Amino acid sequence: MTTSFIQPEQGDPIAALATPVGVGALAVVRMSGKGVFDIAQRVFRKKNKPAFHLSQSKGFRAHFGIVYDCDGLIDEVVALTFRSPNSFTMEDMVEFSCHGGPVVVKHILQVLLDAGCRLAEPGEFTRRAFLNGRIDLLQAEAIGEMIHARSESAFRTAVNQMQGTLSLRLDAMREQLLHSCALLELELDFSEEDVEFQNRSQLAEELGALQEEVRRLVDSYQQGRLLKEGVATVIAGKPNAGKSTLLNVLLGEERAIVSHMPGTTRDYIEECFLYEKTMFRLTDTAGLREGEEEIEHEGIRRSYKKISEADLILYLLDVSSEVYLDEVPQILGFQKHYSNAHMIVVANKIDLTEEINERLQHLRELIGGKVCGISAAKGEGLGELKRIMGGMVEGLDKLHEASVLVTSLRHYESLRNASDALENSRELIDSCSGTELIAFELRSALEYVGEITGKVVNEEILNVVFERFCIGK
């Protein structure tokens, strides 16, 4: 069931910690909703002006004072007031900036709950901002992505979406679909008159251009996903190739256990590695061989699963071994079976052979792909490896403000459904089908586009979006 939201009355008063839990110099406790000025006043007293009431304050004003309970002073705070509709939630809001100790925050929250607030649910402040028309659903999701961004590129993309760049484009699509739907609905109203308000050739042409624009957004998801989640990078190879050592040197810390005994890594290890502005999600996997016991066999099975999900595979081999060419068939098999991923053959232990140049050249001739020689133990060649890794996702760190990328699986699926509906409508036009069938497909496309920004939304979608937010956001 779809629901159209209009601006509601101010909601019941809520309160929550808006800064991270823990010890810090400052913490912010925020309140929003009906009567928050009166609730805050019950626990706040302005120094040297005991008769002052926060309801007398104009918006965007700060007041220094104390928060107290029945036992006396809790803390000295700065109270910030925001009047509806000029606040994040478009409701009356008050924020207390206090000292950042967890006990201080606990006491302030408790005194506010006792005074009439309830504890906010995850994402409830942002949810109210959406329901009150302050932001659309896409912008609300972008706020969450901005908070959780782990790279500069992911942050910039989230900021871009929060500013409404993608929303504007989708709104323009929706307006075009609304216009076409209205004309077709008008035809249905005058079906007995046998009139055509929407020229079918012109409609097919317009829908074709619209579908192409939708497809461009769908195609941008792969790049947008890499920006948001990081490049899924799997370090694979036979036991003792140096996979765990490579993971450690890329991270700059001893994250994985390194041993000369084969089969040390029984399960995969995941960590994030930032190169320039791009995040790589590194996964060190168990050595690829026939497992000698059940646990190792399970680790190898998981390794292949991770490899199948990778965006980038670093296939590590011991180039100092006399039988290093025995791995060429497996490398070629990887190139065939995991063709959706980029692959770099990392020839490790270059410091242990004098024939390194010949061996690297031979590998390049045999596999026809990227080969990089390194010594993970001594740190040689790592700069070149990072450069090649960055080149595999070239352009992710060169986004400009005009870039429009889809970063959410929810948006991607809605756009794919919209594209299918547009394709169906064009086929119906080509086959001279009835107006009602064409209008049905266009209404479907309209709903799919509207789901993204929240023009058309249901409670399940809202729960999925906001359950990922922290309590104070």
User: What is the extent of the structural domain holding 341?
Assistant: 232-392
**Is residue 130 assigned to a domain?**
yes
Quick one: 308 and 365 in the same domain? Answer: yes
Quick one: 208 and 263 in the same domain? Answer: no
Quick one: 310 and 287 in the same domain? Answer: yes
pLDDT at 205: 93
Quick one: 127 and 146 in the same domain? Answer: no
Residue 318: which CATH number?
3.40.50.300
From 135, 164, 181, the end of a domain falls on 135
Quick one: 215 and 241 in the same domain? Answer: no
DSSP states along 363-420: HHHHH-SEEEE-BTTTTBTHHHHHHHHHHHTTTTT---TT------HHHHHHHHHHHH
DSSP-derived 3-state class of residue 197: coil
Quick one: 254 and 305 in the same domain? Answer: yes
| 24-32/231-237 β-pairing | unpaired
Quick one: 127 and 25 in the same domain? Answer: yes
From 101, 135, 169, the end of a domain falls on 135
Specify whether the CB–CB gap between 128 and 195 falls below 8 A. Answer: no
Residue 156: which CATH number?
1.20.120.430
Local confidence band at 292 (pLDDT 50, 70, 90 cut-offs): low
Residue 6, pLDDT > 60, answer no
Quick one: 360 and 246 in the same domain? Answer: yes
pLDDT digits (tens, 9 = 90+) for 197-249: 778 889 999 999 999 999 999 998 988 888 888 899 999 888 888 888 898 88
Mean pLDDT of 103-124: 95
Residue 118: which CATH number?
3.30.1360.120
Local confidence band at 457 (pLDDT 50, 70, 90 cut-offs): low
Specify whether the CB–CB gap between 230 and 277 falls below 8 A. Answer: no
pLDDT at 105: 95
The C-alpha atoms of residue 286 and residue 447 are separated, in whole angstroms, by 46
Mean pLDDT of 299-312: 84
**Is residue 466 assigned to a domain?**
no
Sign of CA dihedral 139, 145, 147, 150: negative
**Is residue 458 assigned to a domain?**
no
**Is residue 471 assigned to a domain?**
no
> 334: alpha, beta or left, given left = phi > 0 and alpha = psi -120 to 50?
alpha
Q: Which residues of 105-136 are buried (b: 16+ CB within 10 A; e: fewer)?
A: bebbbebbeebbbeebebbbbbbbbbbbebbb
State the SS3 of 304-348.
HHHHHCCCEEEEEEECCCCCHHHHHHHHHHHHHHCCCCEEEEEEE
**Is residue 98 assigned to a domain?**
yes
Cα torsion for 156, 160, 163, 168, to the nearest 10°? Answer: -170
Mean pLDDT of 186-195: 70
Sequence-separated contacts (24+) of 435-440 with Cβ below 8 Å: 435/184, 435/187, 435/188, 435/191, 436/188, 438/184, 438/203, 439/181, 439/184, 439/185, 439/188
From 75, 105, 135, the end of a domain falls on 135
Angle at 63 between CA 59 and CA 68, to 5 degrees: 120
Quick one: 290 and 358 in the same domain? Answer: yes
Q: What is the CA 329 to chain-centroid distance, rounded?
A: 37
pLDDT at 372: 94
Quick one: 86 and 158 in the same domain? Answer: no
The C-alpha atoms of residue 94 and residue 36 are separated, in whole angstroms, by 7
Tokens of 390: 């960055």
**Is residue 397 assigned to a domain?**
no
Q: Which of 141, 171, 223, 124 is nearest to 410 (CA)?
A: 141
Quick one: 239 and 384 in the same domain? Answer: yes
Strands laid side by side in the 72-82 sheet: 44-46, 61-69, 72-82, 93-100, 24-32, 14-17, 118-119
pLDDT at 464: 72
Number of domains in the chain: 3
Mean pLDDT of 109-117: 96
**Is residue 468 assigned to a domain?**
no
Quick one: 151 and 254 in the same domain? Answer: no
Sign of CA dihedral 93, 97, 98, 99: positive
**Is residue 315 assigned to a domain?**
yes
